A = this chain, B = another copy of it.
Amino acid sequence: MSTTQTNKIEIIKAATSKINEVDFENLSFGSIFTDHLFECDFKNGEWQKPVIKPYAPFLLDPSSRVFHYGQAIFEGMKAYKDEDDAIWLFRPDENYKRFNKSAVRMAMQEVPEDIFMNGLKELLKLDEAWIKRGKGNSMYIRPFMIATGTGVIANPSDNYKFMIILSPVSAYYAGEVKVLIAEHYSRAANGGIGAAKAAGNYAAQFYPTSLANKQGFQQVIWTDDATHTKLEEAGTMNVFFRINDTLFTAPVSERILDGVTRKTLIDLAKSEGINVDVRPVLVSELVEASKNGTLKEIFGAGTAAVVSPISGFSYQDVYHELPNNEDSMALKLKDKLTNIQNKIAEDTFGWTVKV
C-alpha cells in the first residue's frame, strides 16, 4: 500500500486490484464493490481527516448506536463514463442536499459539502477502471452514514462514520413487475421519517413485501397509512400513472421521498410536451381508469432501475392487467434519460457534472 495526499484526503492504495476477478457481463446489482472506499469520521465534535483506503471490513463496538437505535442514512447515485472516458455524475447536488436533510431528520451530523463531493470525486478517479462505457453501464455510488457512538441509551450519538462505497452495475432489468396496492401495511407515518432516506424505512417494508411476493407480486405500492386511499410510492421508487395521455404522480411530502429520478422525469416529460399532473392520486381513480380503459401505464422511477414499467396491479383481490403500449411513455422517458446520463444525447438541462 502506498500513501499519498490529494485535496486534504489521505489516500492509501490497495496493493493489488480485484478488478480482474469481476465478470462485468454478469453483474448482480449492488453485490460487487471496487478496490477502495472513502471514509470520514465525526468525533470530538468535529469531522476528522478524510481517507480513501482499501475496501475492507471495519471494527465497531457492540453498543454502537446504529445497532440499537437505528441512526443510519444513505444515498443512491450513479456515475457514467462517456466515449472519451470522462466520468460524469448526474445531479449530485440533489443527492448531497437530500443526504443532509435526512441527517437533520435523524438527528445526525450534517456532512460538509467538500467532504461529500471531494471524497466522491477522488474515489471515482482512483477506481475509474471499474466504470464501464456504454448505455446502461454505470457505477452505483452509495454514500452512507452510521452512528458509531457507544452506549445503550436512547439518545442521539456523538460520533458518526460517513462512508462512500462503489458498486459497478449494468442495465437493470427487474423482469415483469406486478404490484400490490397496500390495504393494511404502511411505509410511513404523518410526522414520521418517510421523506428521509433512513435505513429503518427499508427494513419496515421487507415483511409486507415478502407477503406480497408470496402472492406473486414483486413490489408494493404504499398508500397513506390513515385511510389507504391515496397512492404514495413503492419504497425504492416513486410511482407514475398514465391516464390517457397525462402523467400523474403524488406530490412529495413528509411521507414520500423526494426522488431525483422522479423530479427529473417530470421535467423531461414536460419538455417532451407531455402533460404532467402532480397531485394526490386516489386508488379509486386508478381502479376506475383501469375499468374504463383510460389507464395506459404505471411505472416506477428510481436511481437503481431508472424507469421500471409495471405490468399490472392488484387491489382488493382483483388483478388489473395493464395494456401493452406501442407508444410507452415509460420506455420513451427512460431512453431520453439514460441517453443524457450516458452522455449519448446532449444535456440541455445542465444535469450532468464532470468529475
A contacts, CB < 8 Å to B: 28-31, 33, 37, 55, 57-63, 66-72, 74, 76, 104-107, 140, 142, 144, 146-147, 150-156, 163, 165, 167, 182, 184-193, 198-208, 210, 225-228, 235-236
Contact = CB atoms under 8 A, between A and B. Distances in A.
A70 B201 contact: yes
Given A59-B59, A60-B57, A190-B226, A203 B72 contact: yes
Q: How many copies does the complex hold?
A: 2
Nearest to A156: B206
Contact of A203 (B69, B163, B167, B228): B69
A69 B147 CA distance: 14
B186 A191 contact: yes
Nearest to A103: B207
23 contacts: A28-B151, A30-B63, A37-B62, A66-B72, A67-B74, A67-B144, A69-B203, A106-B203, A106-B207, A107-B207, A152-B165, A154-B236, A156-B210, A186-B191, A186-B192, A191-B225, A192-B192, A192-B225, A198-B200, A198-B203, A200-B201, A200-B203, A225-B226
Contacts of A192: 185-189, 192, 204, 225
Given A150-B31, A203-B72, A186 B182 contact: no
A191 B227 CA distance: 11
Contacts of A63: 30, 33, 142, 165, 167
Contacts of A182: 191
Contacts of A235: 154
Nearest to A163: B62
A208 B182 CA distance: 28
Given A37-B62, A66-B66, A198 B204 contact: yes
Given A67-B72, A198-B200, A203-B69, A165 B62 contact: yes
A66 B68 contact: no
Nearest to A190: B225
Counting from the closest, the 8 A-B pairs by CB-CB distance are A200-B200, A70-B199, A107-B206, A189-B189, A226-B226, A186-B191, A70-B200, A30-B152
A155 B208 CA distance: 12
Contacts of A61: 57
A165 to B, nearest CB: 5
Contacts of A146: 67
